[in-house]
């Protein structure tokens, strides 16, 4: 979900973990959207997209042996299970974090973002699409895998990064 703070958190983690690799599956979705039709409008509905999330993430881990940070909202529990299973089947250690942000704050953050500064119509269409998905993303909280670590997405990114790093090191506690 745009506006939750995933990218900002990953940027803070990347600053603290300079060897970490950042893999943003949204770029894969945009590439696929340029190549094939996405009947539902959501590239996550494409089985190929889901394979192209797990596969390259595993390849990055195997090829470079470094942590891979993946900022992505998966609201369909079947899709999350499919991607996580692909990662775990390959022996990847997966830590799943979910940023809890109120619907009002999500709407505020979405409205404040410029998606395509040179294309106001594109920016507004992206904002409308994101705003329409807020209820679905908020509802995803009830369908998260049991080992998901919930974070208060309204905290500053430096505090969230502290929590993520403490959890991964084994010194933090999930809510």
Per-residue pLDDT of the chain (175 residues; tens, 9 = 90+): 455 688 899 999 999 999 999 999 999 998 999 999 999 989 999 999 999 999 999 999 999 999 999 999 888 999 999 999 999 999 998 999 999 999 999 898 888 876 677 778 877 888 888 888 899 888 888 898 888 999 999 999 999 999 999 999 987 655 4
CATH of the domain at 81: 3.40.50.300
- Determine the structural domain holding residue 151 and report its residue range: 6-109+135-167
In this predicted structure, what is the pLDDT of residue 173?
57
- Pairing outcome for strands 149-152 and 97-100: parallel
163 within 8 A of 172, measured Cβ to Cβ = yes
Is 11 among the domain residues? yes
Is 119 among the domain residues? no
In this predicted structure, what is the pLDDT of residue 40?
92
Is 1 among the domain residues? no
In this predicted structure, what is the pLDDT of residue 32?
94
Is 118 among the domain residues? no
Q: If DSSP codes are grouped into helix, strand and coil, which group holds residue 129?
A: helix
d(CA 44, CA 74): 8
Region class of 10: left (phi > 0), else alpha (psi between -120 and 50), else beta: alpha
d(CA 141, CA 148): 10
In this predicted structure, what is the pLDDT of residue 117?
73
Is 117 among the domain residues? no
55 within 8 A of 86, measured Cβ to Cβ = yes
d(CA 90, CA 175): 28
Is 127 among the domain residues? no
Is 126 among the domain residues? no
Is 152 among the domain residues? yes
d(CA 172, CA 33): 39
- The number of distinct structural domains making up the chain is 1
Burial per residue of 42-76, b for 16 or more beta-carbon CB atoms within 10 angstroms, e otherwise: bbbebeebbebbbebbbebbeeeeebbbbbbbbbe
The residues with which 149 forms a beta bridge, in sequence order, are 97
pTM assigned to the model: 0.86
């Amino acid at each position: 979900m745009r506006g939750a703070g995933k990218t900002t958190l990953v940027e803070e983690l990347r600053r603290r973990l300079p060897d970490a690799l950042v893999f943003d599956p949204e770029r894969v979705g945009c590439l696929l959207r340029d190549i094939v039709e996405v009947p539902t409008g959501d590239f996550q509905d494409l089985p190929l997209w889901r394979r192209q999330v797990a596969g390259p993430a595993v390849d990055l881990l195997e090829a470079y042996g470094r942590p891979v940070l993946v900022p992505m909202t998966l609201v369909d529990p079947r899709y999350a299970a499919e991607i996580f299973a692909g990662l775990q089947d390959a022996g990847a250690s997966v830590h799943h974090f979910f940023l809890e942000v109120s619907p009002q704050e999500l709407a505020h953050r979405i409205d404040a973002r410029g998606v395509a500064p040179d294309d106001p119509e594109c920016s507004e269409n992206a904002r409308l699409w994101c705003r329409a998905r807020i209820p679905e993303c908020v509802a995803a909280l009830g369908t998260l895998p049991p080992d998901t670590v919930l974070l208060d997405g309204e905290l500053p990114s430096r505090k969230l990064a502290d929590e993520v790093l403490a959890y991964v090191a084994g010194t933090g506690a999930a809510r």
